[in-house]
């Protein structure tokens, strides 16, 4: 018997309690057509949900076959995916509607337009048989050096974020898709990405951005996701995901949330490096989480988390009442959302580009039309935990101006001076566009930009992240963000 088989055979709890414990798990896996045997056994034991990623996506027909296969194993299995829009979306290969990131929607500041974009995303999910969306982001982009929220947020003002959350949640709910506001109680005040290390928000209680989460709860959001962030004003010892004070005292008692509280992925280093995924699963559930996500496709990690939970139940470290409470919330969620709608109506496929155009023009009057330009598109390499569909400004610029040329750069040049000289030669006699993405976080971008502007003060500046001085700003790097920017540059 293999190690995996021994683990799968190790349950010695009553069947109903064993099933309840499994309902508290959400697993990632490898594959586009075949469900791994280990995952099948977990589903048979009561696994609460699976989370899909780009690795599971080939095309729309394949995704629907995969979700049908998963539900044939267990009809109440929740099938979810991160589906924020913008440059973060795993369904590009399945024909996902193109919508800008949330910040651009906040700049346009038309909740009805936000609802149309959210409706398009939710409608598309429904056609694929995916009924849980780990979106929208409820974080307020509060700290200028925050490395992970930024244009994923609706903005820097809590009330603006709140009204767009309400619009997104209502539109998603109308499609029969479960939305999930994240990352409670907020990740926008940190200077650390919790994918890489434990993050801390040092602000006092009265300055924390709880208002959007209150708005989400009041709007009836069925799920919230916790943040792997320490808030000394709330609990100096543990990140929110593992904190009873934050998950039970604040969220359940003060905010009155009775939906499913799901953890952010346990393999993120904020949890994995300090506690380990297995201990993280046990502590999170004891603290008040209802489900924990293990997003990595290595099912051995999911099994280790499962065993930690079962062992904690056997030893009374984790109470039966707590697991039963969590499992009942998941059961109610599945009752509402596990079955896809029989019919899916149309959605507004043009809403995303409309929003992106309004966001770019929201920065103010753009430059005079630029044709035949050479564009230098500087942006960081894609985040390893977030999808990137290959978008760049040059491709979108050439779609509206075939005479455009350019260079894309995703990291520091080996010889910056030679690189700048080469760009200047290529752009000699033509307009030059210099685009950066959050250059304040990446010195190599600033250095290249400043060197190019010193030699070409006539160059047009573009920011494809948050605003950067007087540059024309797209407020995101989704394909429609970049297309709208290209149109603004060329007058198309």
DSSP letters along 202-226, please? ---GGGS--HHHHHHHHTT-SEEEE
Q: How far apart are CA 33 and CA 39, in angstroms?
A: 13
C-alpha distances out from residue 75 to 39, 67, 129, 230, Å: 15, 10, 12, 37
Q: Which two tokens stand for residue 364?
A: 């103010």
Q: How far apart are CA 417 and CA 323, in angstroms?
A: 60
Q: Which two tokens stand for residue 473?
A: 């700003």
Q: How far apart are CA 491 and CA 373, in angstroms?
A: 13
CA pseudo-torsion sign 305, 310, 312, 318: positive
C-alpha distances out from residue 48 to 80, 135, 283, 302, Å: 11, 18, 18, 12
Q: Which two tokens stand for residue 285?
A: 């559930």
Q: E strands along 287-332, which residues?
A: 292-294
Q: How far apart are CA 397 and CA 403, in angstroms?
A: 9
Q: What are phi and psi of 32, to 5 degrees?
A: -115, -20
Kindly name the residue from 22, 195, 228, 374 that is annotated as catalytic. Answer: 195
Q: How far apart are CA 434 and CA 244, in angstroms?
A: 48
Q: Is 311 a catalytic residue?
A: no
Contact 293, 263 (CB under 8 A): yes
**Residue of 301, 336, 385, 251 lying closest to 26 (CA atoms):** 301
Kindly name the residue from 119, 201, 235, 264 that is annotated as catalytic. Answer: 264
Q: Is 183 a catalytic residue?
A: no
Contact 318, 286 (CB under 8 A): yes
Q: How far apart are CA 354 and CA 104, in angstroms?
A: 11
**Residue of 74, 71, 67 lying closest to 19 (CA atoms):** 74
C-alpha distances out from residue 381 to 185, 341, 461, Å: 28, 38, 20
C-alpha distances out from residue 105 to 146, 224, 347, Å: 19, 21, 17
State the catalytic residues.
195, 264
């Amino acid at each position: 018997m293999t190690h995996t088989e021994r683990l799968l055979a190790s349950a010695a709890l009553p069947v109903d309690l064993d099933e309840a414990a499994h309902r508290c798990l959400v697993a990632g896996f490898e594959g586009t057509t075949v469900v791994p045997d280990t995952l099948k056994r977990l589903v048979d034991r009561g696994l609460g949900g699976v989370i899909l990623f780009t690795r599971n996506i080939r095309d729309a027909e394949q995704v629907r076959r995969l979700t049908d296969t998963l539900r044939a194993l267990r009809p109440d299995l929740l099938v979810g995916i991160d589906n924020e829009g913008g440059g973060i979306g795993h369904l590009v290969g399945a024909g996902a509607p193109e919508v800008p990131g949330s910040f651009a929607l906040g700049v346009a500041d038309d909740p009805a337009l936000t609802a149309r974009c959210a409706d398009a995303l939710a409608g598309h999910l429904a056609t694929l048989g995916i009924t849980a969306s780990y979106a929208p982001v409820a974080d307020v982009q509060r700290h200028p050096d925050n490395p992970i929220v930024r244009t994923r947020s609706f903005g820097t003002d809590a009330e603006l974020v709140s009204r767009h959350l309400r619009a997104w949640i209502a539109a998603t709910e109308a499609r029969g898709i479960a939305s999930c506001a994240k990352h409670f109680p907020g990740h926008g005040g940190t200077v650390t990405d919790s994918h890489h290390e434990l993050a801390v928000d040092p602000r006092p209680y009265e300055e924390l951005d709880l208002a959007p989460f209150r708005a989400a709860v009041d709007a009836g959001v069925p799920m919230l996701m916790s943040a792997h962030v320490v808030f000394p004003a709330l609990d100096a010892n543990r990140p929110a995901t593992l904190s009873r004070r934050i998950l039970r005292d604040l969220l359940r008692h003060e905010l009155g949330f009775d939906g499913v509280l799901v953890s952010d992925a346990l393999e993120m280093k904020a949890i994995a490096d300090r506690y380990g995924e297995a201990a993280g699963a046990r502590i999170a559930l004891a603290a008040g989480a209802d489900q924990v996500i293990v997003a990595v496709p290595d099912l051995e990690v999911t099994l280790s988390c499962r065993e930690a939970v079962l062992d904690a139940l056997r030893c009374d470290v984790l109470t039966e009442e707590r697991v039963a409470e969590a499992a009942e919330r998941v059961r109610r969620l599945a009752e509402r959302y596990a079955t896809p709608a029989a019919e899916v109506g149309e959605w507004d496929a043009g809403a995303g580009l409309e929003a992106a155009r309004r966001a770019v023009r929201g920065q103010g009057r753009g430059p005079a039309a630029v044709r035949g330009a050479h564009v230098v598109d500087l942006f960081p390499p894609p985040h390893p935990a977030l999808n990137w569909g290959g978008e760049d400004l040059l491709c979108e610029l050439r779609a509206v101006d075939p005479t455009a040329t350019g260079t894309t750069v995703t990291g520091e040049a080996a010889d910056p001076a030679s690189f700048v000289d080469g760009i200047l030669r290529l752009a000699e006699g033509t307009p030059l566009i210099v685009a950066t993405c959050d250059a304040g976080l990446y010195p190599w971008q600033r250095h290249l930009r400043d060197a190019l502007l010193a030699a070409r003060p006539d160059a047009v500046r573009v920011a494809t992240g948050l605003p950067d001085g007087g540059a024309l700003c797209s407020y995101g790097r989704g394909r429609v963000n970049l297309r709208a920017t290209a149109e603004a540059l060329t007058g198309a």
